């Protein structure tokens, strides 16, 4: 066999190159290589030759993208002008006085986008883009103010941005009670608090607040929780002897820590964001927190997704003063108190079964007053205006000492 006869000839396609041709009698063999791999391997000193046709193709595609971007920009402006007109209609009529933000409408818009999406972007990616467009359009109508359980960089802040987008004006509060108070006082429009929380361990605190508050649940957010090990610019990577985080996060990463940092001291602090703050300026420590904390406190992520369970997620509630109309796919949350008697729980659950209402969560809390013996927090699929939900609720009301509807709200879209 003779050869190679030719080296580095970009003739097969834009992505495949023939690098060698061997002759063997009348047969010949091509040795090809993926151009993009080659490009990655080659150093800047020795760049692959660019053909004139490749350059032309690239420049044509870029011109096309510039044109599309112009059109997208024009369409976004047109959409924003429509949202401004909606605001004018809302203002001049009594439709939606004080309710510029419409959670049910936003959920419908996002669901619609996901349903119509033909790819190649995923439904979630597409909805995320539209989430930001809507957030900016709403800010033109009226900037929305939201309080959340801080400090900055917590998973609750991440949930807040996921739900309201980057154009919302956010305010970090130190405690869950303060988030409730801030909304009740009217200094913000909404609040975001964790409810089924595998990270911050504050589920009960949120539920207890609902017992004495007239605020409504206006929405829910689900967040995949990814934990990361992060360090500051002064950290000596080889000498990490202390790792800060919230106790729940330390627990979630226990196996990973046992395997990777068996001798480091694990220090529990009040939040993941607090952990991130502490590693600033400490050469021998690291923190476990979310990506947002790394961004906020300018830390470097040393290892990502270190949680032992990859399906780890947390649910947050949006609290406000408005009743949310049905969006087509909703949940209803209630709190019910029952007298302490045999079969109380059975009596409470029976109407839901009879009316075919699907319960998604039942939580029991000790009563905080003598009147309520058992207090149950119940989440169900459906809106309180649905016939089945309304019928079940009526029946429950006749059996319980007290029933309070915490709200009907759209199921989390993203």
Ligand X SMILES: C=C(O[C@@H]1C=C(C(=O)O)C=C[C@H]1O)C(=O)O
- Two structure tokens written together for 387: 């016939």
- Two structure tokens written together for 158: 């991440």
Least spacing, CB of residue 186 vs ligand X, in Å: 19
Least spacing, CB of residue 115 vs ligand X, in Å: 16
Looking at the Cβ atoms of 102 and 216, the one nearer to ligand X is: 102
Least spacing, CB of residue 85 vs ligand X, in Å: 9
Looking at the Cβ atoms of 102 and 278, the one nearer to ligand X is: 102
Looking at the Cβ atoms of 161 and 336, the one nearer to ligand X is: 161
Between vectors from CA 168 to CA 89 and to CA 132, what angle results, nearest 5°?
80
Least spacing, CB of residue 142 vs ligand X, in Å: 9
Q: Which residues bind ligand X (CB under 6 A)?
A: 83, 86, 101-102, 105-106, 109, 134, 137-138, 141
Looking at the Cβ atoms of 90 and 355, the one nearer to ligand X is: 90
Looking at the Cβ atoms of 297 and 409, the one nearer to ligand X is: 409
Least spacing, CB of residue 100 vs ligand X, in Å: 6
Least spacing, CB of residue 140 vs ligand X, in Å: 9
Least spacing, CB of residue 102 vs ligand X, in Å: 4
Question: How far is C-alpha 280 from the geometric centre of its chain's CA atoms?
Answer: 26
Nearest residue to ligand X, scored by beta-carbon proximity? 137
Least spacing, CB of residue 357 vs ligand X, in Å: 28
Contact 199, 153 (CB under 8 A): no
Looking at the Cβ atoms of 101 and 352, the one nearer to ligand X is: 101
Least spacing, CB of residue 96 vs ligand X, in Å: 7
Looking at the Cβ atoms of 99 and 260, the one nearer to ligand X is: 99
Looking at the Cβ atoms of 194 and 407, the one nearer to ligand X is: 407
Give the per-residue SS3 of the chain: CECCCCCCECCCCCCEEEEEEEEECCEEEEEEEEHHHHHHHCCCCCCCCCCHHHHHHHHHHHHHHHHHHHHHHHHHHHHHHHHHHHHHHHHHCCCCCCCCCCHHHHHHHHHHHHHHCCCCCCHHHHHHHHHHHHHHHHHHHCCCEEEEECCCCCHHHHHHHHHHCCCCEEEEECCHHHHHHHHHCCCCCEEEEEEECCCCCCHHHHHHHHHCCCCEEEEEEEEECCCEEEECCCCCHHHCCEEEECHHHHHHCHHHHHHHCCCCEEEECCCHHHHHHHHCCCCCEEEEECHHHHHHCCCEEEECCCCCCCCCEEEEEEEECCCCCCCCCEEEEEEEEECCCCCHHHHHHHHHHHCCCCEEEEEEEECCCCCCCEEEEEEEECCCCCHHHHHHHHHHHHHCCEEEEEEEEECCCC
- Please count the other Cβ atoms lying within 10 Å of the Cβ belonging to residue 324: 25
Least spacing, CB of residue 165 vs ligand X, in Å: 10
Looking at the Cβ atoms of 106 and 379, the one nearer to ligand X is: 106
322 CB-near residues (< 8 Å, 6+ apart): 98, 99, 216, 218
Looking at the Cβ atoms of 106 and 200, the one nearer to ligand X is: 106
């Amino acid at each position: 066999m003779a050869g190679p006869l030719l080296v580095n000839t970009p003739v097969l396609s834009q992505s495949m190159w023939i690098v060698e041709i061997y002759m063997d009698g009348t047969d010949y063999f091509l040795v090809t290589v993926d151009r993009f791999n080659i490009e990655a391997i080659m150093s800047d000193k020795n760049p692959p030759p660019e053909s004139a046709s490749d350059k032309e193709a690239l420049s044509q595609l870029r011109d096309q993208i510039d044109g599309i971007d112009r059109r997208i920009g024009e369409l976004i402006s047109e959409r924003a002008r429509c949202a401004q007109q909606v605001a004018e209609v809302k203002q001049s009529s009594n439709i939606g006085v004080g309710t510029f933000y419409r959670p049910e409408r936003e959920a419908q818009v996002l669901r619609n986008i996901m349903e119509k999406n033909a790819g190649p972007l995923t439904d979630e990616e597409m909805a995320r883009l539209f989430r930001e467009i809507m957030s900016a359009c709403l800010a033109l109508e009226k900037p929305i103010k939201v309080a959340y359980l801080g400090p900055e960089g917590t998973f609750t802040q991440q949930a807040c941005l996921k739900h309201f987008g980057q154009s919302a004006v956010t305010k970090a509060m130190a405690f869950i009670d303060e988030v409730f108070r801030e909304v009740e006082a009217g200094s913000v429009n909404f609040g975001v608090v964790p409810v089924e929380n595998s990270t911050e361990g504050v589920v009960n605190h949120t539920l207890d607040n609902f017992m004495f508050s007239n605020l409504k649940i206006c929405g829910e957010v689900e967040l995949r929780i990814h934990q990361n090990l992060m360090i500051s610019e002064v950290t000596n990577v080889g000498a990490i002897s202390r790792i800060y985080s919230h106790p729940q996060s330390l627990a979630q990463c226990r196996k990973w820590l046992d395997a990777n940092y068996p001798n480091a001291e694990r220090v529990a602090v009040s939040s993941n964001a607090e952990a991130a703050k502490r590693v600033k300026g400490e050469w021998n420590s690291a923190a476990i927190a979310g990506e947002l904390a790394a961004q906020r406190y300018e830390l470097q992520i040393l290892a990502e997704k270190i949680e032992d369970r990859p399906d780890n997620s947390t649910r947050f509630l949006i609290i406000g003063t408005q009743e949310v109309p049905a969006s087509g796919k909703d949940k209803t949350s209630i709190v019910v108190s029952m007298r302490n008697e045999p079969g109380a729980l059975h009596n409470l659950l029976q109407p839901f079964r009879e009316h075919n209402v699907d319960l998604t969560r039942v939580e029991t809390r000790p009563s905080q007053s003598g009147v309520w013996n058992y207090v149950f927090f119940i989440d169900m699929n459906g809106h309180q205006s649905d016939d089945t939900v309304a019928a079940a609720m009526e029946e429950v009301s006749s059996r319980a000492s007290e029933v309070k509807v915490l709200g009907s709200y759209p199921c989390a879209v993203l």
